[in-house]
């Protein structure tokens, strides 16, 4: 199972989820918000602070956060997005610095919702509560 945990109140994160769904025709990924019960359980299971606001990828029994999670997601998307996984060769501290800059400013740049997004009927089965 590949599960992406995302900030359900973040406009950028919600758009990112829709972007992934549009480029994942085989349905390799499922989704849950960090704020959900399952999101909080998985953070605890993988020793990730419950206060994290990073994208988290749970791939089988491994958890990835920040830039590593984003680039590993890219590796499973259709062409040309797979090519971004090549950035995994860049040292993690460098990649994560850029990731954190975007994450720190995402509400300011992209806005915030008062509640988590509600998926449409045609993609609802890809979301876990």
**pLDDT one-digit tens code per residue, 43-102:** 999 999 888 878 899 998 899 998 999 999 999 998 899 898 899 999 999 999 887 887
> 29 is written with which tokens?
């990924």
Nearby residues of 96 by Cβ (< 8 Å), 6 or more positions away: 66, 67
Task: Provide the pLDDT for residue 121.
Answer: 63
Distance between CA atoms of residues 16 and 20, nearest Å: 6
Residue 20: give the domain boundaries.
Answer: 2-126
19 versus 125: the higher-pLDDT residue is 19
> 19 is written with which tokens?
């972007």
Q: What are phi and psi of 66, to 5 degrees?
A: 55, -135
- pTM of the predicted protein model: 0.82
Nearby residues of 63 by Cβ (< 8 Å), 6 or more positions away: 42, 46, 48, 56, 57
Task: Provide the pLDDT for residue 95.
Answer: 92
Task: Provide the pLDDT for residue 112.
Answer: 59
Tally the domains of the chain: 1
Cβ atoms of 69 and 57 within 8 Å: the answer is yes
Nearby residues of 48 by Cβ (< 8 Å), 6 or more positions away: 42, 56, 63, 65
Distance between CA atoms of residues 58 and 45, nearest Å: 11
- What is the helix (H) or strand (E) element at residue 45, kind and residue range? helix 37-45
């Amino acid at each position: 199972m590949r599960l992406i945990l995302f900030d359900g109140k973040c406009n950028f994160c919600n758009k990112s989820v829709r972007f992934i769904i549009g480029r994942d025709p085989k349905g390799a990924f499922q989704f849950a918000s960090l704020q959900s019960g399952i999101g909080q359980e998985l953070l605890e299971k993988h020793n990730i602070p419950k206060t994290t606001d990073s994208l988290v990828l749970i791939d089988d029994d491994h958890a990835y956060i920040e830039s590593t999670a984003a680039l590993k997601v890219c590796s499973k998307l259709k062409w040309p997005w797979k090519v971004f996984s090549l950035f995994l060769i860049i040292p993690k501290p460098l990649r994560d610095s850029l990731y954190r800059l975007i994450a720190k400013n995402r509400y300011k740049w992209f806005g915030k919702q008062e509640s988590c997004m509600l998926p449409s009927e045609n993609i609802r089965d890809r979301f876990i509560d």
